[in-house]
Amino acid sequence: MIEIIKSISGISTICIIIGFIFLLVAILSSIQTQWFTFALSRLQQTLLAIIGIVALGLGIFALILSPGPGVPAGTIAAHLAVTDPDGWLICNGKPIDKKHSELIRIVGVNTPDLRGYFLRGYDPEGNVDPNGPQRALGKPQLDSTRMPDKHFVITGDGIHDHKIDGHFNIKTNGNFRRNGGSYDNIEVDEISTNKDGVHDHIINGGDGETRPKNVAVNYIIKY
């Protein structure tokens, strides 16, 4: 596409130059100035003028209709389809056809594999991305969790036990003795656990990753 655009722009420029020269020669030959004494017949002047006007018109027309520079190779966009749109390739790490030489020059022989990735602006100075100075364009960055500005705190409760409320019937097989008697069963309304000293507790939970709300798309790259 880039080659076609360049060809059209070149042709339009040539036509405009040729048209301008032919018109200038026809006009100057008709007025016979002291700087231009090249004599042409009236027919020749008319033909030159016609050719000049036609060439100039074609050049301007081609220039108007010629497309602009277009989307440059290597541009990445989001796309809600599962197939390659015309002029683009899905970024899934697949090999690039050798005919797309401009894209190969930029990204290598395979498309970037952006499946499952968010994109982040390149920050070689490290103003926002702390790893920016060590990164290169197109290279992935692994997961990371920032240290919170404020610490998470679990309030300590010192040495303590825990009460279990309820009504419990406990078999003792005569091993429980009190006030000179032995008992096979005792009934209690509360049980206390043993004290475990000062200790920590683990907070469980979480998912496989930390992520914002998002929508699945295919990233595509222009060739």
The per-residue pLDDT string of the chain (223 residues; one tens digit each, 9 = 90 and over) reads: 545 545 556 777 888 888 888 888 777 777 765 555 566 777 877 888 888 888 888 888 777 766 566 789 999 999 999 999 999 999 999 999 999 999 999 999 999 999 999 999 999 999 999 999 999 998 999 888 888 888 777 766 667 666 666 555 666 665 655 555 555 566 665 666 666 667 666 777 778 888 889 999 999 999 9
| pLDDT score recorded for residue 209 | 83
Domain ranges of the chain: 2-65
Question: Of 117, 115, 122, whose CA–CA distance to 136 is shortest?
Answer: 122
- Model pLDDT, residue 53: 87
Task: Output the pLDDT for position 165.
Answer: 65
